[in-house]
A and B are shown apart, each in its own frame.
Chain A
Amino acid sequence: MDEPLLKVEGLRIGFVTRTGVIQAIDDVSFEINSGETFGLVGETGCGKSQTAMAIMRLTPEGGVIENGEINFNGNNLTKNIKHEFVLIKKNGQVRLKRNKSELKRLNTEMGKIRGKHISMIFQEPMTSLNPLHSIGKQISEVVVKHNLDEIIDRILSRDNSDGEQLKEMATLAIRQKVTRERLLELARTKGMEGLADQIWFIINRRDIGSDQKIQAVSDLAERRIGTVTRKFLTTLKKTQGKIPIKYRVLSKIPLVKNRFMGAIVEEARAISYELLSLVDMPNARTVLDQYPHELSGGMRQRAMIAMSIAAKPRLVIADEPTSALDVTVQAQILDLLRDLKKAFGASVLFISHDFAVIAEICDRVGVMYAGNIVEIADLKELFANPKHPYTQGLLAAIPKYGDKRETLLAIKGTVPDLMHPPEGCRFNTRCPRAFEKCTQKPPWVSVGKEHMVLCWLFEDGQDHVE
Chain B
Amino acid sequence: MESPSSVMGLAIVVAYAAIAMIDFTYPQLIGVENAYSMIPDYVNTVPQPPAWPTHPFGTTFPGIDLYQAIMAAIRVDLWYSFLIVLVGAIIGITLGVLAAYFGGYIDELLMRFADIFLSIPYLPFAIAVGFILGRELSDVSIALILVWWPLYARYARGQALSVKESAFVEAAKASGVGSWRIMIRHVVPNVLTPIFVQVSLDLGTVVQIFAALTFIGFASANALLPELGALISRGFQYAVTAPWVVFFPGMAILVFAIGMNLLGDGLRDALDPKYRTRRR
Question: Does chain A touch chain B in the assembled complex, meaning CB atoms less than 8 Å apart?
Answer: yes
Q: Is the CB of B279 within 8 A of A15?
A: yes
Alpha-carbon gap, A15 to B280, bound state (A): 12
Q: Is the CB of A44 within 8 A of B280?
A: yes
Q: Is the CB of A45 within 8 A of B277?
A: no
Does A161 belong to the interface (CB within 8 Å)? no
Which residues of chain B have C-beta atoms less than 8 A from A24's C-beta?
279
Q: Which of B221-280 contact A (CB under 8 A)?
A: 277, 279-280
Q: Is the CB of A62 within 8 A of B277?
A: yes
Alpha-carbon gap, A49 to B280, bound state (A): 8
Alpha-carbon gap, A18 to B277, bound state (A): 11
DSSP majority for the A interface?
loop
Determine how close the nearest CB of chain A comes to the CB of B4; give it in whole angstroms. 12
| Chain B interface size range | under 10
Does A17 belong to the interface (CB within 8 Å)? yes
Determine how close the nearest CB of chain B comes to the CB of A343; give it in whole angstroms. 31
Alpha-carbon gap, A62 to B280, bound state (A): 13
Alpha-carbon gap, A62 to B277, bound state (A): 10
Alpha-carbon gap, A15 to B2, bound state (A): 20
Query: Interface 1/0s, chain A 41-57, versus B by CB < 8 A?
Result: 00011000100000000
Determine how close the nearest CB of chain B comes to the CB of A453; give it in whole angstroms. 26
Alpha-carbon gap, A398 to B250, bound state (A): 69
Q: Which of A1-57 contact B (CB under 8 A)?
A: 15, 17-18, 22, 24, 44-45, 49
Q: Which of B1-34 contact A (CB under 8 A)?
A: 2
Which residues of chain A have C-beta atoms less than 8 A from B279's C-beta?
15, 22, 24, 45
Alpha-carbon gap, A15 to B279, bound state (A): 9
Q: Is the CB of B280 within 8 A of A17?
A: no
Determine how close the nearest CB of chain A comes to the CB of B266; give it in whole angstroms. 15
Find the B residue at minimum CB distance from A22: B279
Which residues of chain B have C-beta atoms less than 8 A from A15's C-beta?
279
Find the A residue at minimum CB distance from B278: A60
Which residues of chain A have C-beta atoms less than 8 A from B280's C-beta?
44-45, 49
Alpha-carbon gap, A24 to B277, bound state (A): 14
Find the B residue at minimum CB distance from A62: B277
Which residues of chain B have C-beta atoms less than 8 A from A17's C-beta?
277
Find the B residue at minimum CB distance from A63: B279
Alpha-carbon gap, A22 to B280, bound state (A): 13
Alpha-carbon gap, A110 to B279, bound state (A): 24
Alpha-carbon gap, A49 to B279, bound state (A): 10
Determine how close the nearest CB of chain A comes to the CB of B280; give it in whole angstroms. 6
Alpha-carbon gap, A428 to B201, bound state (A): 49
Find the A residue at minimum CB distance from B2: A18
Alpha-carbon gap, A45 to B2, bound state (A): 27
Alpha-carbon gap, A457 to B6, bound state (A): 53
Q: Which of B26-50 contact A (CB under 8 A)?
A: none
Alpha-carbon gap, A44 to B278, bound state (A): 13
Which residues of chain B have C-beta atoms less than 8 A from A62's C-beta?
277
Determine how close the nearest CB of chain A comes to the CB of B253; give it in whole angstroms. 34
Determine how close the nearest CB of chain B comes to the CB of A436; give it in whole angstroms. 33
Alpha-carbon gap, A22 to B278, bound state (A): 13
Which residues of chain A have C-beta atoms less than 8 A from B2's C-beta?
18
Determine how close the nearest CB of chain A comes to the CB of B279; give it in whole angstroms. 7
Q: Which of B92-108 contact A (CB under 8 A)?
A: none
Find the A residue at minimum CB distance from B279: A15
Alpha-carbon gap, A15 to B277, bound state (A): 11
Determine how close the nearest CB of chain B comes to the CB of A44; give it in whole angstroms. 7
Query: Interface 1/0s, chain A 368-399, versus B by CB < 8 A?
Result: 00000000000000000000000000000000
Find the B residue at minimum CB distance from A15: B279
Alpha-carbon gap, A201 to B103, bound state (A): 56
Find the B residue at minimum CB distance from A418: B279
Determine how close the nearest CB of chain A comes to the CB of B270; give it in whole angstroms. 13
Alpha-carbon gap, A24 to B2, bound state (A): 25
Determine how close the nearest CB of chain B comes to the CB of A463; give it in whole angstroms. 34
Alpha-carbon gap, A22 to B2, bound state (A): 20
Alpha-carbon gap, A22 to B277, bound state (A): 13
Determine how close the nearest CB of chain B comes to the CB of A154; give it in whole angstroms. 40
Alpha-carbon gap, A319 to B279, bound state (A): 15
Which residues of chain A have C-beta atoms less than 8 A from B277's C-beta?
17, 62
Determine how close the nearest CB of chain B comes to the CB of A289; give it in whole angstroms. 33
Find the A residue at minimum CB distance from B280: A49
Determine how close the nearest CB of chain B comes to the CB of A16; give it in whole angstroms. 10
Find the B residue at minimum CB distance from A61: B277
Determine how close the nearest CB of chain A comes to the CB of B211; give it in whole angstroms. 38
Which residues of chain B have C-beta atoms less than 8 A from A49's C-beta?
280
Find the A residue at minimum CB distance from B3: A18
Alpha-carbon gap, A318 to B2, bound state (A): 39
B residues in contact (CB < 8 Å) with A: 2, 277, 279-280
User: What are 10 A-B contacts with C-beta separation under 8 Å?
Assistant: A15-B279, A17-B277, A18-B2, A22-B279, A24-B279, A44-B280, A45-B279, A45-B280, A49-B280, A62-B277
Further 7 A-B residue pairs, CB within 8 A, beyond A17-B277, A18-B2, A62-B277: A15-B279, A22-B279, A24-B279, A44-B280, A45-B279, A45-B280, A49-B280
- Interface pairs A-B: 5 shortest CB-CB: A49-B280, A15-B279, A45-B280, A44-B280, A62-B277
